[in-house]
Amino acid sequence: MILHIDSLPEITCHTTTRYIVFSIFPTIADIVISIIYFITYFNAWFGLIVFICMVLYLTLTIIITEWRTKFRRDMNQQDNNAKSKAVDSLLNFETVKYYNAENYEVSRFEDTILKYQVSEWKTQASLAFLNQTQNIIIGSGLLAGSLLCAYFVTEGKFQVGDFVLFGTYIIQLYTPLNWFGTYYRIIQKSFIDMENMFTLFEEEEEVKDEVNAGNLLYKLGKVEFENVYFSYISGKEILQDVSFTVLPGQTVALVGPSGSGKSTIIRLLFRFYNIQGGCIRIDGQDISKVKQTSLRAHIGVVPQDTVLFNDNIRDNIRYGRITASDQEVEEAAIAADIHDKIMTFPEGYDTQVGERGLKLSGGEKQRVAIARTILKAPQIILLDEATSALDTQTERNIQASLAKVCANRTTVVVAHRLSTIIGADQILVINEGRIAERGRHEELLLKGGLYADMWMQQQQTQDSDSSSDTEAKDRSSEKLQPPSTSSDHHGH
């Protein structure tokens, strides 16, 4: 059964109310009635014994249960630590094996388990202490009342039946009283176990829709950044006074050094974060004034780091549009240049990709992500290093496919390899959170600025790689050639 998290507090409140109304209140009523009965039909000493016994029972139950809270809380914390370490080491099993850290991970998990066992022992020991305390109180009350009742029987003031009545009544009263302690412990344990969830409910959403937010009215796909300021951490600005416009159907490329804020612009356009200053608009509408679901329905993203679900390839691609048919999924895979590769797998589209897609190569995962976006068919496309994990030939095929997909669509591309964005309508060079240069490829080369330097460096790197490959081939061919025979070696 799947339980929605919003319903958990309601269920807890209902359970608590049921315990209070049908268990705790009747128990208190039983105690009051018994005290009145013993005072009226026995004498005040018996009422006093019952009163002292019940007050001690309830008081010590509450005090000890509150004292036990810290043990329960610590046990939950240690349990969470053990589970998180187990999941973390299993998900990152490749890293564990890279560094021969299996024994280290086992010892770490063993330490957390031992700490959990200690906390669990304290919880169980304190519960046993509570139960023994309750039994001692009830036993002492029963013993004191029985001795007093026996004395009155010997004095002829009570009958033997009165002695039996007293013992039976006290034992009968003990049963609901015992449940009172149990219910109180259950309620207390429930609140402790749900502390983390209540803390989560108290957290304020960083990005949330306004009360009267409407849907994004998509028209042409014009994207505008106007004097945008943003920082992940207060005091360290990632973007400073960033302004640019992407006209409908245009492709704008974002280039620059790592950490300059290129991917941040993509995240802000998708509204993963709220900006600290300025405005971001689509077709003249401030994206902070519209519903997030309507905004994201028009935007498709191919991220730099692709994470797949532990499911088959077909359903991972279909995640772009859940209602898509198998034929549409295959057409998207063909457009992403991965269909032929999938068909070489024994199970084809039913192949399981494993946790986070670990059974696929980096290039295959990225092509699945591209197929997802193609299947979604968004009006605005964001490409964050969409071909970074691909070889040259596959990259060319993907670029051709993306060119078809991005045709007549507003596109924002983040790229490190400048050769992939030569044809962009506008190139923005981001440096230290600001737009240092802007223009087309040829214009920026003529300026001789930061973009031209980056272009020259990449060209030199490619030339050196090409020359290294050529030299390696020459050396290997020389080794394969037979030694030449000179005329000097012949006899005179």
pLDDT digits (tens, 9 = 90+) for 245-258: 988 888 899 988 88
Tokens of 182: 């149990």
Residue 469 confidence class, pLDDT cut points 50, 70, 90: low
pLDDT at 488 over 90: no
pLDDT of residue 234: 78
pLDDT tens by residue, 360-379: 877 788 888 888 888 888 88
Taking residues 252-267, report their average pLDDT: 86
CATH topology of domain 5-201: ABC transporter transmembrane region fold (1.20.1560)
Distance of CA 259 to the CA centre of its chain: 24
pLDDT tens by residue, 120-145: 999 889 888 988 888 888 888 888 88
CB atoms within 10 A of CB 123: 19
Check residues 402 and 152 and name the one with the higher pLDDT.
152
Check residues 385 and 89 and name the one with the higher pLDDT.
89
**Pair 359, 308: CB distance under 8 Å:** no
Alpha-carbon distance of 431 to 425, in angstroms, equals 20
Alpha-carbon distance of 382 to 24, in angstroms, equals 60
Mean pLDDT taken over the chain: 80
Residue 388 confidence class, pLDDT cut points 50, 70, 90: low
pTM (two decimals): 0.62
Rounded to 5°, angle at Cα 64 from 59 and 70: 140
Tokens of 83: 């589970």
Tokens of 335: 């457009």
Q: Do domains 5-201 and 208-298+378-468 have the same CATH topology?
A: no
Q: What is the DSSP code string of 133-186? A: HHHHHHHHHHHHHHHHHHHHHHTTSS-HHHHHHHHHHHHHHHHHHHHHHHHHHH
pLDDT at 103 over 70: yes
Check residues 249 and 406 and name the one with the higher pLDDT.
249
* DSSP code of residue 347: T
pLDDT of residue 10: 47
**Pair 238, 264: CB distance under 8 Å:** yes
pLDDT of residue 371: 87
Distance of CA 159 to the CA centre of its chain: 71
Q: 3-class DSSP state for residue 2?
A: coil
Length of the chain: 492
Q: What is the DSSP code string of 24-53? A: IHHHHHHHHHHHHHHHHHT-HHHHHHHHHH
Highest averaged pLDDT of the listed ranges 14-18, 147-151, 203-207? 147-151
Q: 3-class DSSP state for residue 410?
A: strand
Taking residues 44-70, report their average pLDDT: 85
Q: Give the range among 18-27, 138-147, 224-233, 402-411 with minimum mean pLDDT.
A: 18-27
pLDDT of residue 485: 43
Highest averaged pLDDT of the listed ranges 172-176, 287-291, 419-423? 287-291
Q: What is the DSSP code string of 228-246? A: EEE-SBTTB-SEEEEEEEE
CATH topology of domain 208-298+378-468: Rossmann fold (3.40.50)
pLDDT of residue 125: 92
Longest dimension (CA), the chain: 152
Residue 14: phi, psi to the nearest 5? -65, -45
Cα–Cα distance list, 212 to 284, 288, 490 (Å): 18, 11, 100
Instruction: Specify which residues 233 forms β-bridges with.
Output: 236
Residue 380 host element (H or E): strand 380-384
List strands edge to edge, sheet with 239-246.
Answer: 239-246, 223-230, 277-282, 285-286
What residue spans define the domains of the chain?
5-201, 208-298+378-468, 308-364
Instruction: Specify which residues 225 forms β-bridges with.
Output: 244, 280
